[in-house]
Each structure stands twice: as C-alpha cells, then as structure tokens.
C-alpha cells in the first residue's frame, strides 16, 4: 500500500438542521485510507457511519446540512495535493462521483431502477464518465463487468427483480467498479444477505480490490465482516471517534469499554446457547434465572406433513414450487430454528402456518386441528390468529405509522377479547413494560422510536392476545449487534415466562445456535436436514448444511 492516502479526512463535522434546531451527526472525525486498504467504520445506528460516506460523495442536502473540515481525494498522478470535496461545486462532484469515488448501498433493489435492464444500468454508469464511448462499447464493457462479478453476460437483459439478492448486490458492485474508482464506499453491503452469499460477495470485493488497488471504506455493524475484510477499524459512537487501530488488535485487545461491549454483543458459534448476551448498556449480564414456570406438557403444537406450495408462473409459465414435500413440527414450549438462503421457502412456510397462504397440497395442523383452509376461511383464520402471531423483520413497515402505540397494542385485544376500553389500555401499558419500554410511549407513533424499540413494540403486539405460537421471521437481522442482543435476551425471557413455542426464521447461524432448541435446514424449498441444535451444528449430515456452516464469518 502506498504512503500517500487515497482519501484523507480531517476534522470532519456534519450538522443537520432540524425543527428542533441544529443536530450534530459527526464531530471532528479524522482518518486516512491508503490505496488498496480497507478501513471499517463500525458503530450502531446513529453513530455517523453513513453520514461520513455520504459527505465524501457530497450527497447531503446543502440547504439542511452544514459540512465543515476537509475530505481530500488523493492526487491520481501523485504530483499534487488532490481534490477537496467539502465545498466543491456540484459540477466538480458530478465528474468525481462514480469515476474516482463510488458507493455500494445496502439495499441493492432500491439502488437499481426497476424499469431498466441491469446491462443498460451498468452501461449508463460507464457512459456518464466516457461520453465519447459509443453504445456498443458501453454494452461490451457492461457485459465484461458482469462476467467479472460472476454473472453471465447473457443476463444483461434481465431486470433487477429477476435476480436474487446476492446477484443484485453483485450488479451494484459492478456499477460502482466499472470506472475503476480510487475509493469504494460500501454502506452495509452484506447486512441483508445470507451467510453463504455474504461470503461470496466479500470474496468478490476482496478479489476486485486486489486487482484494481481500489481503497475501501466499509460501513458496517457486523464484527464478523470487519474481521474478515478490514485492515483497520474506526469505532464511532454518537458521531465521535472512540478508538482506531489495526483490526486484529481491536478485536482482541480493545481499550475502550464501548468497543469491547460492541464486539461481545455479537453471538458466535462458540457462544454458550441460551445465555444472556452482553450489550452496550449491560456489558456483564447476570446469568439467566431458573425457569419461571414448569416445563410444558410434551406433544406437538404445530405440524406440516408433506407440504407443497406453488406460486403461479408469469403469463402461461408453469407454477413455481416454493416448498416441496416438507414435513416438520414445533413441539410445545420448543423453539425451532428455520435456516436457509433467500428463496429457500422459509417465509412461505411461516405464511402457511399463520394461515396467510393456502398450501397446494399436504397437511397443516395446529394442536391436532387441520388449518390448511385458514387462508381462505375467514372464521378459521380469525380463530387461528389468536393462537399464532407473527413478528416481522422490518418493525417500521409492519407497524401502522398513523396509529399510536396504544392503538397498535389494543387493536388485537379489541378483536379477540371482551375487555373494556379501560382494561385494554391497562393491558397495553403492561405489555410495554414487559418488553422493557416506558408506558409514556403509549401516546407516541412508531417513527418516534429507534429500530430496536420498534421491534419491541412488534413483540408486544404479538404477545397481546397471549398466543401459543410466535413465528419470528428474521426479527433481528436489520438491527445493530447490541440492539440485536437486547431483543434476543428479551425473547428468551418472554419464552421462559409465557411458555411460548417459537418458529424462529433466520439466516444468521450464530443467532440460531444461540437461541433455538432444534434446527431445520431448507434448500430450494426442500428440507435437507433437521434435528437437535448440537447434532446439526456439531455433526451435520447434509453437505449443504456443512457449506452454510463453513461460510460463517
């Protein structure tokens, strides 16, 4: 790596103008990134990580944002001081963005136009900075770039929705690297990806960085990604730099308590299952108390027998099988972990068990009762919804933004119970306290809470009617590691207190090992392995399970 920085940030401060006055988001941050180096910006939501990346690209609204300090792009030829990005005119920034400094965003589907083919979008990224290049040349460059990121050039005519999440992320990487920039800013590029796809994307980025010498600023809260990818890391909290240094040193001998707490909050495959996870607010949690209630009566609560679910094909195409011949069960008081990549059928099974989708064939039983017709039988669906509740991945999208928390929590009580309005209000207050929130939040709306607090509200809503089975569909995948630890600790406490059965869907194998009693592994709609947690993780029998475990960072 060269001694001359590819990117130099000095005393950077970013302040947003809000209705409540100025709000500093970044305060006096300084760091350098050498050519070919990967620097990890690590911290929780609101720490200023993405704000720094957007400031480097000049993407903040100048009418509502004040940026001071210096962000200097290294001189390409090594003979000058480079280009100052803070305060640069928009015309200069347009020439630099995508050509010398590029960005990969977290949500590839939002970053791509749904109306244009992936080949056309990559070609456009090239032509913007090479206006003299003809369309044919741009198409050829785009096809070559697709091949370079592991996608067949023949797929250049596909639209983004035709691709999997991992392939869409590869397309975004191809767009970012087609002009061979000096700096690549990757903002949570693998957060929503399965372990195996995450591993593939990170391998791809490492290989391309080695080929081109591109420096990289990796924005993430995933300590595993940092350990596998970054040369150095900079830890941020509330817009301030707390600690920086070589990744290996900080991961093993961090000096700041916050850094140690952040690293410890992420479960690994070696974390003792069922123990309380440390958090930033509670770095040394007390051992979990003994079980609060007697063990539940043995028996099967929910069961699938030879389940098949087909989705209609486009136009006159044959139906697409999403789930094929799956048989599994959830015992009373048990937590079953459902593992698999995107498109493996996990969420489809959840929707069938919740009575939201009718199976094509097979049996679906709850407490011995056939519930296969629930999706088309309103009365059966209503009865089932009292016993089976869902906790969704995105707590903001799953909560009505126009309703207060009290309205959100009392709606299922109004539908399923005979409680009076006063009794419903009292129950809502109890639910908030049970999930660790203040009753003062009852009058507030979802947007007034953090992501972790919104997920707690979603859990409280699921608990409102005292269900017997909770289906948690990726409930912590979008949360920071410390908030994830808080939510997992909460779910374990509630599971003990209410003798809950859970179907826990996740692509994070470390979380599944820590939280679940039994594991079921899906691949392309088929069940490839199922069994007790230790058996599946310690002595897996299916090659696919071994492959998933090998991909864990």
pLDDT in tens, 504-534: 998 889 999 999 999 999 998 999 999 999 9
Task: Measure the N-to-C terminal CA separation of the chain; round to a whole number of Å.
Answer: 25
pLDDT at position 504? 96
Question: 39: helix, coil or strand?
Answer: strand
Confidence of residue 382 (pLDDT cuts 50, 70, 90): very high
Look at residue 2 and tell me whether its pLDDT is greater than 60: no
Confidence of residue 305 (pLDDT cuts 50, 70, 90): very high
Q: Compute, in degrees rounded to 10, the torsion defined by CA atoms 89, 94, 100, 101.
A: 90
pLDDT at position 363? 95
**Distance from C-alpha of 540 to C-alpha of 481, rounded to nearest angstrom:** 27
What value does the mean pLDDT of the chain take?
88
> Is residue 536 a contact partner of residue 545, using CB atoms and an 8 Å limit?
yes
For 303: left if phi > 0, alpha if psi spans -120 to 50, otherwise beta; the answer is beta
Domains of the chain: 7-264 (3.40.50.300), 307-550 (3.40.50.300)
Question: 127: helix, coil or strand?
Answer: helix
Full-model pTM:
0.82
Look at residue 139 and tell me whether its pLDDT is greater than 60: yes
> Is residue 193 a contact partner of residue 165, using CB atoms and an 8 Å limit?
yes
For 44-91, how does the pLDDT look when each residue is reduced to its tens digit (9 = 90+)? Answer: 888 889 899 999 999 998 889 999 999 999 876 555 567 899 999 999
Only one residue has tokens 């590819």, namely 6
Look at residue 503 and tell me whether its pLDDT is greater than 90: yes
Look at residue 294 and tell me whether its pLDDT is greater than 70: no
Look at residue 292 and tell me whether its pLDDT is greater than 70: no
**390-400 average pLDDT score:** 84
Handedness of CA 323, 328, 331, 336 (dihedral sign): negative
**Distance from C-alpha of 343 to C-alpha of 110, rounded to nearest angstrom:** 19
**Distance from C-alpha of 393 to C-alpha of 334, rounded to nearest angstrom:** 21
Q: How many secondary structure helices (H) and strands (E) does the chain include?
A: 19, 20
Tokens for 198, please give them: 């995450």
pLDDT at position 288? 66
| Nearest in space to 467 (alpha carbons), one of 405, 390, 398 | 390
Confidence of residue 102 (pLDDT cuts 50, 70, 90): very high
The 10 Å Cβ neighbour count of residue 498 is 17
Residues β-bridged to residue 323: 309
pLDDT at position 11? 97
Within 8 A by CB and 6+ apart from 110, the residues are none
Look at residue 300 and tell me whether its pLDDT is greater than 90: yes
**199-218 average pLDDT score:** 84
**What share of the chain has pLDDT > 90, as a percent?**
56
Residues β-bridged to residue 523: 526
């Amino acid at each position: 790596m060269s001694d001359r920085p590819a990117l130099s940030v000095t005393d950077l401060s970013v302040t947003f103008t809000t209705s409540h006055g100025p709000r500093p988001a970044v305060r006096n941050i300084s760091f350098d990134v050498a050519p070919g180096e990967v620097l990890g910006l690590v911290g929780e939501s609101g720490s200023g990580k993405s704000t720094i990346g957007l400031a480097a690209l000049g993407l903040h609204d100048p009418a509502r944002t004040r940026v001071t300090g210096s962000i200097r792009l290294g001189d390409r030829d090594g003979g000058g001081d480079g280009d100052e990005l803070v305060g640069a005119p928009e015309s200069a920034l347009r020439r630099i963005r995508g050509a010398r400094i590029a960005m990969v965003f977290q949500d590839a589907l939002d970053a791509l136009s749904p109306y244009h083919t992936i080949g056309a979008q990559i070609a456009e990224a090239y032509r913007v900075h090479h206006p003299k290049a003809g369309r044919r040349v741009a198409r050829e460059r785009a096809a070559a770039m697709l091949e370079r990121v592991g996608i067949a050039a023949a797929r250049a005519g596909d639209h983004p929705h035709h691709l999997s999440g991992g392939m869409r992320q590869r397309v975004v990487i191809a767009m970012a690297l087609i002009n061979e920039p000096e700096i690549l800013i990757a903002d949570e590029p693998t957060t929503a990806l399965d372990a195996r796809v995450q591993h593939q994307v990170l391998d791809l980025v490492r290989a391309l960085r080695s080929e081109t010498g591109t420096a990289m600023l990796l924005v993430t809260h995933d300590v595993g990604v940092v350990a596998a990818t970054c040369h150095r890391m900079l830890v941020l909290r509330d817009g301030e730099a707390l600690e920086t240094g070589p990744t290996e040193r900080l991961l093993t001998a961090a000096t700041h308590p916050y850094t140690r707490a952040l690293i410890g909050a992420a479960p690994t495959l070696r974390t003792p299952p069922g123990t309380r996870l440390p958090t930033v607010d509670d770095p040394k949690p007390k051992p979990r108390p003994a079980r609060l209630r007697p063990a539940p009566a043995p028996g099967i609560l929910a069961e699938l027998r030879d389940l098949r679910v087909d989705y209609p094909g486009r136009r006159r195409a044959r139906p697409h099988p999403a789930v094929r011949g799956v048989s599994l069960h959830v015992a009373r008081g048990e937590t079953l972990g459902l593992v698999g990549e995107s498109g493996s059928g996990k969420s489809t099974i959840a929707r069938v068990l919740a009575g939201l989708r009718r199976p094509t064939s097979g049996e679906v039983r709850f407490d011995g009762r056939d519930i296969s017709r629930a999706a088309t039988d309103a009365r059966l669906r209503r009865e089932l919804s009292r016993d089976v509740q869902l906790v969704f991945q995105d707590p903001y999208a799953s909560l009505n933004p126009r309703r207060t928390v009290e309205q959100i929590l009392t709606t299922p009580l109004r539908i399923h119970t005979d409680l009076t309005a006063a009794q419903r209000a009292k129950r809502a207050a109890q639910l908030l306290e049970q999930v660790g929130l203040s009753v003062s939040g009852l009058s507030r709306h979802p947007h007034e809470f953090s992501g972790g607090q919104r997920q707690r509200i979603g859990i409280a809503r699921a608990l409102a009617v005292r269900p017997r089975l909770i289906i948690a569909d990726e409930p912590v995948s979008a949360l920071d590691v410390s908030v994830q630890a808080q939510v997992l600790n909460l779910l374990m406490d509630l599971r003990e207190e209410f003798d809950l059965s859970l179907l826990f869907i996740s692509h994070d194998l470390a979380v599944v090992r820590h939280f679940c009693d039994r594991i079921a592994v899906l691949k392309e709609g088929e069940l490839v392995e199922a069994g007790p947690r230790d058996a599946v993780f310690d002595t897996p029998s299916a090659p696919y399970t071994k492959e998933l475990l090998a991909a864990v960072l």
